[in-house]
Structure 1
Amino acid sequence: MHFDHVCAGAGWPLRIATLSGLMALAQGAAAQTSPALPEVTVRSTLVESPLEYSPASVTIVDGERVRDRQWQVNLSESLSTTPGLLLQNRQNYAQDLQLSIRGHGARSTFGVRGVQVFVDGIPATMPDGQGQTNNIDLQSVERIEVLRGPYSTLYGNASGGVINAYTERGEGRPRIDSSFAVGSNGQKRLGLKAQGEQSGVGYVVSASRYLTDGWRAQSAADKNMFNARLDTNPGDSGHLMLVANYVDVDALDPGGVTPADWQANARAVAQGPIDYNMRKSMRQTQVGLSYDHRVDASNALRLMVYAGQRHITQYQSTPRAAQAPATSAGGVIDLGRDYGGMDLRWAHDTRLADSPFSLVAGLAVNVVEEDRQGYNNFLGSALGVKGALRRDERNTLNNADPYLQASWSFAPRWRLDAGLRWSNVKFESRDHYIAPGNGDGSGDTRYRRWLPMLSLQHQISAATQVYASAGGGTETPTFNEISYRPGGLPGLNFGLQPATSRSLELGLRQRLDGDALRGHWSAALFHTDTENEIVTADNTGGRATYRNAGRTRRQGAELGTQLQLARQWQLSGALTLLDAKLRDGFCNAAGTSCVSAGKRIAGTARTQAALGLDWRPHSDWRLGADWRHVSAIAANDSNSIEAPSYNVLGLSASHTRQWGAWKLNAFARLDNVTDKKYVGSVIVNEGNGRFYEAAPGRQWMAGISLGYQF
């Protein structure tokens, strides 16, 4: 691989030197005995294994770290030191976080694209690959696992990476925890959680509310969450888990601004979102049930079933004139979804050639029934109100994917993992809005592909492992991407084909178990070639259409570490170098504008780095500093616009006191300490040139949590 373009002008040698220097300093830290490292098991791989023997790149963030001195609202708060993950907080609760892994999902203008998201084993990603993260309750999460590389392909369609969130399991005596935090721009958060175990039933019940006036105009939000988990063991060989989740969001949408407007005023908002009162409301209710049964010493079964409802009403700032054509879907989206599915899995442990052999076979089925209506966003002279019906369709998405993985420790210190999944996604649309100039857009299509994975591991020593893996992936268009045909033609764009990819990875992972230095670090080289990349064909009048381009390539390197330095110090760090480019050029739908080969894939950054340092001078005190660097991000396919690179620093502190059964924790944060002006996220290929969503300047927050153990 050639990383010349990744590194050019990015100042990465200094950042590597900084990270290496801190690691070297760590090894020379005070030789006080650190607490023993707990063994961590990776759950995101079908055959679970200790972290140091995982056949893939995995980062695990525990729930305590997710909540410690944080708002507990966004994943961006606690996953910044995850290698390969670009996670941008848009400061816009009408849209989800901008999230990509190794460049997969970078083109998404809203929601999560190209990355699979799961919560307690339940997919938060629909069969078409469109997902969201706003139903993850960080107040009750036990851990978050971020899986990268070829192994992700076993999760099926659009799995350029995987994020798995797991809720805590209730155990022990009952406990109640409450929290309250306030901060800049009218931010407030209230939280309440009860957990424990009673008569063999473990429970965790969590509720929270978050309010903000927003840093920019037209960005206020109100988010309410409820999450519950119940666990019990019916019999000696079974485990039953019930989870329920509800999320309710009402948020204004400030949209993006042009680079010139951002330069003149970072808090600027375009006139359109204000005139049309751009906003979004979302309600989702979901329940899931999983049952694990140990048949005998060699066989186990697992069944997970889930169902949910989701309703979205979104008012866009599409100009009235752009809604004049008969094929326009208007400027208001009214979307209702009923969804559900199941995952049935069998695990078998035996021996092959007198060596341990594990086999997992399963079937994942998911169904989405969607009623989608579109309306004008005006009524007479009134703007930002629901007007005439312009779209009415019934859409169905489903997939039925069988999968298989085998793991064989065929020789001392050697292990081979192989897997295969049959991705089978079907789209169907029935058009109920037929008018002059807007014919019947009904249709259906199906995408099928075998997705293989192979990984070979070698244990160099008891603490050091090297592995190599390869896989083939697919990424179908989403319903949003086939919603409009180029040239203003009626109907859905069923001619859009899935992108297919081939990935390679070489990784090294080491566990450190010294007296003064404990933890682990990992490094990986990765390379992905993709054909039929899905790119923007046109973006006018608030409507984006898509087409297939030629070949793209994503390659780079990752370094990550989590270290315990004696008893007082903790260090975490991540470095990502990414070279994501078009290998073939392409033109827009009209052929009037072309992008040449060699351009960087829009939405990607060449370099990312993050460091977090925590100091505990006393068991009651915790002080921290975190630093993040992101290099310039290409805002459009031609790379003519880039969001500037930035470095931001955060400081935090907390103090804990215990009085018998009561525990009080007071905490505070100061983010963007130097009041850096920077672009928090980029709206890729925005048709009006409004690419930038500004990040806030210096921000503060302070809060308390109070817990009682019965």
Structure 2
Amino acid sequence: MIGPKAAGLPAVEHIVVTGISRAPATIRPAGQTTYSAEASSFAGQVGQSVADMVVTIPGVSFTQGNGPRDTVVSVRGSGDRQSYGLKNLQVLEDGFPMTQPDGTARADLIDPHAYDGVDVFEGPASTVYGNYAINGAINFRTRQGADIHGLELGSDFGSFGMVNTYATLGLGNHAYDLMVFGSNVRGNGFIANSHYDTSTENIRLRVNLAPSDRLIFKVVNNITHANLPVRLSLDQYRANPYQHGCADASAAAAGCASVNLLLNGRFGAREAVSPQAAGLGRFDRRTIIGLRWEHDFSSRTTWRNQFTYDQRHIDQPTSPTSFVGPYNSYNASSDVTNRASIGGTSLESFAGISFDYLDYGYQTYNILPLGGAARGAMSSQSYGHQWNLGARFQEDWHFAPDWHAVVGLGGTYSDIGATQALYAYSAAATTSNLVTANRFFFNLAPEGALIYTPARDWALYARVGTAYGTPSASNLFITPQGQYGSNTQLKSQSSVGVDLGADWRLGKIVHVQATGFYEFYNNELVSQSAGVNTVGAYTFNAPASQHRGVVLGLDYTPMPHILPGGKIALSYTYDNQVYTNYTEVLSNSQVSRGFSRKGDHIPGVIPNFLNARFLYDQPTGRFEGLGGYAEVTWRDAYWLDNANMLKAPGYALLNLEIHYDPPRHMGWVHRLHWYFEVQNVANQTYIAGATPISDILLANGQQAGAGNLGASTGSIYAGSPRAYFGGVRLRL
């Protein structure tokens, strides 16, 4: 569902602001385009992943990552070129950082049943959120204990062996608020070798120590155990999208994906084996513990101090090598918000400082073709750190009854230091090569916005925002060939974006929010796959690029008197991203050639995407509480390579859902909720996720066309065929 307005509209306006918890946990960037989704749009359905939470939010898209709950969430195309996680965004939960200092955030730990809503701040946001907020920020809000007021038990079940069992405990009054959530979800998956078993625990406790002091304690813990199929080429996808009958297939089997493993785990001959035979998967743990103290100096001034510890431990045999190691991070911040009155006008001031630190040490091992991801010799090891020291301020001046002006400035100093040891083996000897990186970055992000509210239900806004994102240590050690090595020359990316938007309501009948954006990027960080038998994606700087588009959200009640329970909800995004200055060098065994990509579309970016829901909930009478929706989701075709030779086809899906929430007058039955839904009603075969691929220089010195690129592996995951899900929830 669309959010209420652009953040920062004056409090005296009667526009209802959804998406702010009773005690705001995070700073909303004044004047920034903001959309929200409330639990009412996702709590009554299967809720397998974060995709179910954000599907109705304009400007937000998603693709399949590496694992069933590893959804790649993208704001205005921020993560469309990634194979996993949430990139080029700062992600928070109840105001606590979920993005580690190297810019990594993952969606595995998000079970939608625990949440009250999500707010998305779109466009450059580094003024307030610092490093990596290049396309914005997302704040997930867990449920309030006082609203739960007891114990809820639930279970979802459906196609491909999916079962999710969860429980939520909520208690609260004026002195405290406690929410405890736990779930376990498991299933066989619809692609071969995609069985998964994931458990999540989420706790939030707020204690009012005194009228002016509050403590908020936060814990998130997630364990992910998932088998992992191999990403396909477009040719393999067309021949066998779900990899049926491939468990024992060789590399020559039509449409079957495989990985090439060293027979002795060190050097020499390789054998092509299926993902099942190799034992590919992800076996990860993530633990986050946070504490925040909020103190009111007065009714106008609030001081917040926060500390978060975040450990991500990964064990990922996802390619011919297995990646193992811990990532420990620490985040501390302090900020002050003051609301003052100056000559009859109001001024809200915000200032803060932050420091985060990450240290890591990982090893990679060659995988033996013995099953169970058996480890051979070590192929590399790396140790390093990254820290970011930031400061920011923002002034929001309500200088006239209908006008706001916003100015702000943020800056971050970043330090990245890392070493990587590479090992090569032969019958005669073992050799090693050491690659080091010691990089320092300083970035500034000014912003300004003007907001005009000429009437109660109208708001117009204009904003100029800036943002930046440094490379992470992992970007610095993968070469264009997709192998470990030196890529230490990378620069920070930066952007300047202009937003022009309007927010309009016509009573309870229509709510429209529309935003046009134009963003200019320097040294944009773009990643692409070099194939399945490589260790990772290669990242490069595109000197100049532009992103421009339109974001539209609509809530419409067409017949409020005749059919008050009926509504249409629509979200649409047009996203046109092109290189304006980038020359790519391609090489073969004999020659290298440069090709200008000026005017080419940036690969991976979905140019048009639409979600339309037609909803009905019976408000009164015998069938009160009975409702459902029909949903259409459309994704346009998009380019897979820099030369714009090969496209991933688009798709349109139809989903149906029905639910029942018995009314209060039905006594104990009121405590029971149930639903049933059908996804992909037409049983279409479609691409759920596709990462960009590298272009190829042929022996004749020409670029490879679509026919050759269709065989490039390491890109595509198919989406789910028709699936049926149901669930029940009981409130005690």
The answer to whether the superposition gives a TM-score over 0.5 is yes
> Structure 1 residue 558 and structure 2 residue 551: aligned?
yes
Q: Distance in 1 between matches of 2:163 and 2:79?
A: 31
- Counterparts of residues 472-487 of structure 1 (less than 5 Å): 472-486=466-480
Give the corresponding residue for 1:503: 497
- Counterparts of residues 307-456 of structure 1 (less than 5 Å): 307-318=309-320, 331-378=321-368, 384-431=373-420, 437-456=431-450
Does the 8 Å contact 2:19/2:38 carry over to 1? Answer: no
Does the 8 Å contact 1:256/1:690 carry over to 2? Answer: yes
Give the corresponding residue for 1:513: 507
Any idea what the Cα deviations from partners look like across 1:593-646, whole Å, max 9, x if unmatched? Answer: 635221111111111111112111332201111111110021222222211111
How far is 1:433 from its partner? 6.6
Aligned with residue 722 of structure 2, among 693, 698, 709? 698
Q: Distance in 1 between matches of 2:148 and 2:650?
A: 49
Q: Report the CA distance shift for 1:210/1:173 in structure 2 as closer, same or farther (over 3 A).
A: closer
Does the 8 Å contact 1:276/1:317 carry over to 2? Answer: no
Q: Report the CA distance shift for 1:382/1:592 in structure 2 as closer, same or farther (over 3 A).
A: farther
Q: Report the CA distance shift for 1:561/1:151 in structure 2 as closer, same or farther (over 3 A).
A: farther
Give the corresponding residue for 1:622: 627
How far is 1:302 from its partner? 0.8
> Structure 1 residue 532 and structure 2 residue 523: aligned?
yes
Question: What TM-score do you get using the length of structure 1 for normalisation?
Answer: 0.87
> Does 414-423 or 688-697 show the bigger shift?
688-697
Any idea what the Cα deviations from partners look like across 1:79-122, whole Å, max 9, x if unmatched? Answer: 122111121235x5267212222122222122221122111222
SS at match of 1:177: strand
Gaps of 5+ in 2: 2-13, 244-255, 260-274, 425-429, 696-711
Does the 8 Å contact 1:499/1:533 carry over to 2? Answer: yes
SS at match of 2:236: helix
Give the corresponding residue for 1:155: 129
Q: Report the CA distance shift for 1:238/1:661 in structure 2 as closer, same or farther (over 3 A).
A: farther
Q: Report the CA distance shift for 1:267/1:593 in structure 2 as closer, same or farther (over 3 A).
A: farther
Any idea what the Cα deviations from partners look like across 1:513-539, whole Å, max 9, x if unmatched? Answer: 25xx2x622001100111112235882
Q: Distance in 1 between matches of 2:372 and 2:27?
A: 55
> Structure 1 residue 678 and structure 2 residue 686: aligned?
yes
Any idea what the Cα deviations from partners look like across 1:244-264, whole Å, max 9, x if unmatched? Answer: 111011111112212222222
Q: Distance in 2 between matches of 1:353 and 1:174?
A: 45
Q: Distance in 2 between matches of 1:513 and 1:538?
A: 50
Q: Report the CA distance shift for 1:282/1:444 in structure 2 as closer, same or farther (over 3 A).
A: same
Any idea what the Cα deviations from partners look like across 1:176-214, whole Å, max 9, x if unmatched? Answer: 111112111111111111111279332111111111101
> Does 554-563 or 95-104 show the bigger shift?
95-104
Give the corresponding residue for 1:209: 184
Q: Distance in 1 between matches of 2:505 and 2:516?
A: 19
- Counterparts of residues 14-413 of structure 1 (less than 5 Å): 39-40=17-18, 42=20, 55-69=31-45, 71-90=46-65, 92-93=66-67, 96-151=70-125, 153-159=127-133, 160-171=135-146, 174-197=149-172, 200-268=175-243, 269-272=256-259, 273-318=275-320, 331-378=321-368, 384-413=373-402
Does the 8 Å contact 2:482/2:538 carry over to 1? Answer: no
Give the corresponding residue for 1:635: 640
Q: Distance in 1 between matches of 2:69 and 2:366?
A: 21
Letter in 1 for 2:356: N
- Counterparts of residues 463-478 of structure 1 (less than 5 Å): 463-478=457-472
SS at match of 1:388: strand
Any idea what the Cα deviations from partners look like across 1:129-178, whole Å, max 9, x if unmatched? Answer: 22212223422212100110244653122211211101122116841111
Any idea what the Cα deviations from partners look like across 1:10-64, whole Å, max 9, x if unmatched? Answer: xxxxxxxxx9xxxxxxxxxxxxxxxx98542657997659xxxx61211111123
Question: What TM-score do you get using the length of structure 2 for normalisation?
Answer: 0.84
Letter in 1 for 2:604: G
Q: Distance in 2 between matches of 1:233 and 1:484?
A: 49
Q: Distance in 2 between matches of 1:487 and 1:259?
A: 20
SS at match of 1:139: helix
Does the 8 Å contact 1:629/1:645 carry over to 2? Answer: yes
SS at match of 1:551: strand
SS at match of 2:102: coil
How far is 1:452 from its partner? 0.9
Letter in 2 for 1:699: A
Letter in 1 for 2:395: A
Give the corresponding residue for 2:578: 581
CA RMSD of aligned residues (A): 2.6
How far is 1:571 from its partner? 2.3
- Counterparts of residues 595-606 of structure 1 (less than 5 Å): 596-606=597-607
Does the 8 Å contact 2:160/2:190 carry over to 1? Answer: yes
SS at match of 2:471: coil
Does the 8 Å contact 2:212/2:296 carry over to 1? Answer: yes
Q: Distance in 2 between matches of 1:234 and 1:511?
A: 40
SS at match of 2:210: coil
Q: Report the CA distance shift for 1:340/1:73 in structure 2 as closer, same or farther (over 3 A).
A: farther
Gaps of 5+ in 1: 1-18, 20-35, 319-330
Any idea what the Cα deviations from partners look like across 1:224-278, whole Å, max 9, x if unmatched? Answer: 1111111111111122111111101111111221222222222125122234221
Letter in 1 for 2:437: G
Q: Report the CA distance shift for 1:226/1:41 in structure 2 as closer, same or farther (over 3 A).
A: closer
Q: Report the CA distance shift for 1:588/1:437 in structure 2 as closer, same or farther (over 3 A).
A: farther
Does the 8 Å contact 1:154/1:452 carry over to 2? Answer: no
Does the 8 Å contact 2:63/2:80 carry over to 1? Answer: no
Does the 8 Å contact 2:127/2:411 carry over to 1? Answer: no
| Length, aligned pairs only | 652
> Does 470-479 or 411-420 show the bigger shift?
470-479
Letter in 2 for 1:309: Q
SS at match of 1:260: helix
